[in-house]
Structures are given as structure tokens and as C-alpha cells.
Amino acid sequence: MFRMLILCSFLFILAEGHPQITFKNNHDAQIYVAMCRYISSGGYWMTTGWFTIGKGGERLVFDKISASDTIGYWAMTTITEEKFEGKKNLLVNDDSKFTIKYADKPETAGTNPLYSWRKFILLRLPAGATKGAINFK
């Protein structure tokens, strides 16, 4: 059911310009989001966060991506603590804004006691798509 929701909510619109993905918050609460991207030129995962999206708000989160880029997110509502999670284990910093290089490596986890593992939902733009939206409901 959750997979179907993600697939249905990932609406693609063909347009000109740099490929990008926007998060739209249609949930009843504010949402905290952490994002990830696989850096193929370096062969590592990078995570960054926390970004807040208010109720009814939207935010451009990935810009200048290609169909070959693997990206993803982990999110949680502020009131009910409902989680939007997938299967890819990556590190986040529970205490503050962060950017973590090599976020998939156990040895990176040991470099900061505030790092913890979250299960990210991974996505790719289909070939030819230049815009997408993730709707939190």
C-alpha cells in the first residue's frame, strides 16, 4: 500500500529546463525532511537535512538532476511523528542541520555520537522526465 502511495504521488510533468523534484506537504502537520543522493563520480552516498515544510507548503529539493541520479528522502511529521521511510539505511544527525559524506559507511557512524541510521526511500526520474513532485499526505 505504501509503495502504491509513493508511486501514485510521484507525479511527473514533462517540461523544459533543469530536472528537479519538489516536495509538497498536503499532510495535517509540518514535516521534517532529510535527503540523500548517490554521488556516482565519487562512489558514495551523501545525506543532508533537516528541511522543514509547513502544512500546505512546498519546497524545491532536488535541482539539476538526471535520470541516472539516484536520490531519496526520509521524512517525519512534527505532531504525530508519522514516518515516511523506505529500505536504504543511511546516516542522519538527530541534533542539528547536517551534510554527511559516506553516509552509508559504518565507520562514518562512529565519527559522531549524534549520527543515527534512517531508512530512506530511493527514487529516480524516468528517462525524459524533467520535473517531479513528492506529495506527503
Domain harbouring 89, CATH code? 2.60.40
Cβ 86 vs Cβ 121: under 8 Å = yes
Domain count, the chain: 1
Per-residue model confidence as pLDDT tens digits over 19-49: 677 889 988 889 999 999 998 888 899 999 9
List the domain range (segments joined by +) for residue 71. 2-136
Residue 102's pLDDT is: 97
* 97 phi-psi bin (left φ>0, alpha ψ -120 to 50, beta other): beta
Provide the pLDDT for residue 18.
59
Q: What is the pLDDT of residue 63?
A: 63
Q: What's the rounded Cα separation, in Å, for the pair 19 and 115?
A: 31
Spans in the chain with pLDDT lower than 70: 1-19, 62-68, 126-130
Q: What pLDDT sits at residue 9?
A: 37
Question: What pLDDT sits at residue 21?
Answer: 79
Whole-model pTM: value is 0.79
